[in-house]
Amino acid sequence: MSSSREIYGLLLISCAAGYAYLFYSISAPEAGHGTLCLFKNITGIACPSCGSTRAVIALFQGRVYDSLSYNPFGLAIAAIMLISPVWITRDLFLKQESLFARYRQIEKWLVQPAVYLPAIMLVLINWAWNILKGI
Based on the structure, what is the number of domains in the chain? Answer: 1
83-104 pLDDT, tens digit per residue, is 999 999 999 999 999 999 999 9
The number of beta carbons lying within 10 Å of the beta carbon of residue 23 is 11
Interval 66-77 mean pLDDT: 92
> Which of 30 and 116 is assigned the larger pLDDT?
116
What global pTM score does this model have? 0.81
Say whether pLDDT at 32 is over 60: no
The number of beta carbons lying within 10 Å of the beta carbon of residue 20 is 10
- Given this model, what pLDDT does residue 39 score? 86
Distances (CA, A) of 39 to 35, 47, 58: 10, 6, 23
Q: Is residue 38 classed exposed, middle or buried when 0-12, 13-18 and 19+ CB atoms within 10 A define those classes?
A: exposed
Distances (CA, A) of 38 to 14, 44, 47, 49: 17, 10, 9, 11
Domain with 105, as residue range(s), is 4-133
Say whether pLDDT at 31 is over 60: no
Q: What is the mean pLDDT of the chain?
A: 89
57-67 pLDDT, tens digit per residue, is 899 889 999 99
Phi, psi torsion values for 51, nearest 5 degrees: 95, -10
